[in-house]
Structure 1
């Protein structure tokens, strides 16, 4: 193109020179040459710009193709990432679900019981109590949740008959009626140190009881606050429980009845054997002159007073109970053997203030085809213990009683226990009934079918 432009310019200049040669001067020819040179420079510049534009256009085209390829790649990667993220979300959900399940433990048990009771107590009119036969069920369901690394929360439900604090049994009666299910446990357990736990709410008994002692009914779940501590061979519990909360005009009878207690003990290794020793003290605060009972005084000495216009039986004594316990565990070959003793005295009562219990247990019914045999003797004088707490089966759950308890159990498989318990007791061993009876025979047979999970 450059050659064509130059040729055209030269031809034009020559033509103009031939037509006006007669008038052309050397200066005019020099001007023409300068114009030609300027024209050629412009042509060169335009050609260079044109070449640069072509190169830039080709570069832009290549960049566009590269961007298009990158766009296709990114779209493909985005689809892959979305799919991977969805899969990871599913996996995270599974992990979270497994983590939640790992923090929750569900336990429980169901017991079917046949029971026979022979009670020779006479009514006020002199008629003897009829023998009683009944079948009963007990069902309990508990959940414990690891809320944090240091705090566990427990909630439990159990069958109940009249909200009895000493029993979660339900008798099979009332023409197939529905059976009640009540709140049995509701507590937190905070491990505030390696050596201690703070427990609050409605809890299992946090202190230790020797062997098969029945100074406390096993179904009682106290309410309030407790601190457990343990270090090496030593252990202990301090607690503050609420029995009754009172409201109304401020008088000397509106103080809340409470139970304060402390237990300390040790576990001593003796070769392959072990010896547990413990001292336990509890004080029934604001109990004297009041009626902190679920259903009567259960054998404790009472006085009749008028409260709010009504004649009421109230406690004659406070209960400041000192309790000493011992338990020795050894082996007879491959069979566990246990000897234990429990003794208590109420520091406030004037008389009939002592309780004691001692027994043996051979074997342990827990694993597949294991068994146990146990026997013990127990005496609870009338005001030795706060009778609202003692076992509800021994002598029908009253103090001023004594007698034997014989037990046998067998586990056909793990978590399944069949056992029988026979109570051969006497009631009113020191204080006669209104009918003048002393040393009343009271026998009770229980055959249980227990399944745990």
Structure 2
């Protein structure tokens, strides 16, 4: 219908020209443009040809599409990192690492999506990093040990969407809302495995889930090693104002079966334990407030305060995080910067699941970090991260901890 209307308009316009100027000659240049005046490089054409050209420019034909392959959506990234770690009474670490991720989603129907992804960092649920070996160790290292043997199934789930809601069944990408992307409770790389529900409208976000903790190979031997379950519930209310948006949220994360169990990934990460078994439960309540400004000196700005209380432990069960970010590196040449102050008591959160970079991961630490990111090219980012903190070791001694990371990220 649109094409018919455009044809009529073109014909009417050309008819008006003919009626007002007698016999009008039209000309076309080498670029396909139509004119009513002669000039060097222009060729005379008739009225019908001019109408055809003008109509084609107004309503270009759509390109043919392959319906089957349009159902597949792939993306990935490769990150190269140089990292330095310094702490009291320990040898400094200076290492080069990489992280590789690749995902393919398939539209089964309009409402059902198959989500899949692989990642480097096998047997490590809170990191995809792989460290390159140095010196003589690297000479005999086969390339498959760096890449093929380090791959893991990162995501494998089915997502069913309806109205403003969705269900996910399987091992899903992280979907709990974290203000300013804080990792006080959850590391970026944690994948919940089970059945989860999500809802989002203009002013409300809800997350509910029942999940099973997946133990990495080799870390079994406690009383309740096979039945640690994680139940999650989160509510976020959003209020919009003239130049900013306010997010108020509350959540509850219930770990069932931790007390009396061994650690799932090879370390208790400073959580209370005796004889290799956890001595506390983890029933974590979270509350936060986040303010997002649209424009502060020409750039977006957001700030948040997050607090947690583990009701499963009677002592050392409080943690909090204050984070802010200025600007946003979405387009080439843009940058962003952020800063965080954090304090996490010994049993405030489940140490195996929170930020794996801050103070080396886990709990019983306090300090701050700053980070910056710059979009260097269409699919290339460079970023830096610097952490200064105090953390306690197994002997109860406080150790000064410093860590910096410099990254180059390629997205494809």
TM-score bucket (shorter structure):
0.7 to 0.9
Distance in 1 of aligned mates of 2:167 and 2:254: 20
**Which one has the largest radius of gyration?**
1
Q: Contact 2:225–2:261 (CA<8 Å) still a contact in 1?
A: no
CA offset at residue 232 of structure 1? 3.5
1:227 alignment partner in structure 2: 197
Q: Which runs of 5+ in 1 are unaligned?
A: 1-93, 121-127, 246-250, 305-312
Deviations 1:114-166 (A, max 9, x none): 0000021xxxxxxx210010000111110011111110001111112x51101
Q: Deviations for 1:322-347, whole angstroms, at most 9, x for unmatched residues? A: 00122111111421111111110001
Deviation at 1:252, TM superposition (A): 7.3
What SS does the corresponding residue of 1:411 show, helix, strand or coil?
strand
What pairs up with 1:75-94 in 2 under 5 angstroms?
none
| Aligned match of 1:199 | 168
Shift of 1:295: 1.4
- CA shift, 1:292, in A, is 4.0
**Contact residue 367 and residue 415 of structure 1 kept, 8 A:** no
Residues 1:279 and 2:250 are matched in the alignment: yes
Equivalence for 1:444 = 403
1:54-73 aligned at under 5 Å gives the runs: none
Output the CA distance in 1 between the equivalents of 2:391 and 2:243. Answer: 41
Normalized against structure 2, the TM-score is what? Answer: 0.77
**Cα distance per residue 1:191-234 (max 9 Å; x no partner):** 1x302111011111121001041221111122111000123311
**2:79 aligned residue (108, 111, 114):** 111
Aligned to 2:130: 170
CA distance in 1, matches of 2:108, 2:181: 34
Q: Which residue of 2 aligns with 1:418?
A: 382
Q: 2:151 aligns to what?
A: 181
- Structure 1 residue 237: Cα displacement: 0.5
Matching of residues 166-315 of structure 1 within 5 Å:
166-173=126-133, 174-175=137-138, 176-177=141-142, 178=144, 179=146, 180-191=150-161, 193-215=162-184, 216-244=186-214, 253=224, 256-304=227-275, 313-315=276-278
Query: Closer, same or farther in 2 for the Cα pair 1:410/1:238, shift >3 Å?
Result: same
Residues 249-291 of structure 1 deviation map (CA, whole Å, 9 limit, x = unaligned): xx97476110001001111101131111111101111111112
- Superimposed CA distance per residue, residues 40-85 of structure 1 (whole angstroms, 9 cap, x where no aligned partner): xxxxxxxxxxxxxxxxxxxxxxxxxxxxxxxxxxxxxxxxxxxxxx
Distance 1:421 1:280 in 2: 28
Q: Contact 1:298–1:388 (CA<8 Å) still a contact in 2? A: yes
Counterpart Cα distance in 2 of 1:153 and 1:351: 43
Q: Which residue of 1 aligns with 2:35?
A: none
**1: CA distance, partners of 2:339 / 2:296:** 17
Partner SS state of residue 213, structure 2: strand
Q: Does 2:345 match 1:381?
A: yes
Instruction: Choose from 266, 283, 288 the match for 1:320.
Output: 283
Question: Does the CA-based 8 Å contact 1:355-1:381 persist in structure 2?
Answer: yes
Query: Aligned partners of 2:90, 2:300: CA distance in 1, in Å?
Result: 41
1:145 equivalenced with 2:106 (yes/no): yes
SS in 2 for 1:211: helix
SS in 1 for 2:68: helix
Measured at CA, do residues 252 and 131 of structure 1 come closer, stay the same or move farther in structure 2, by a change above 3 Å?
A: closer
Q: Is the 8 A contact 1:207 1:236 kept in 2?
A: no
- In structure 2, the CA distance between the partners of 1:374 and 1:252, relative to structure 1 (3 Å rule), is closer
Gaps of 5+ in 2: 1-62, 216-221
Q: Does 1:336 align with 2:300?
A: yes
Q: Pick from 101, 108, 111: which aligns with 2:69?
A: 101
- Distance apart, 1:449 and its partner CA: 0.2
Aligned residue pair count: 333
* In structure 2, C-alpha distance between the alignment counterparts of 1:369 and 1:404, rounded to whole Å: 27
Q: Which of residues 337, 353, 367 is equivalent to 2:331?
A: 367
Q: Distance in 2 between matches of 1:118 and 1:437?
A: 16
Q: In structure 2, how many angstroms separate the alpha carbons of the residues matched to 1:415 and 1:281?
A: 37
Q: Distance in 2 between matches of 1:350 and 1:99?
A: 58
The answer as to whether partners of 1:197 and 1:228 remain within 8 angstroms in 2 is yes
Partner-residue secondary structure (3-state), 2:385: strand
**What is the Cα-based RMSD across aligned positions, in Å?**
1.9
Residue 414 of structure 1: how far off its partner (Å): 2.7
Check the 8 A contact 2:101/2:119 in 1, yes or no: yes
In the alignment, is the contact (CA less than 8 A) between 1:155 and 1:187 conserved in 2?
Answer: yes
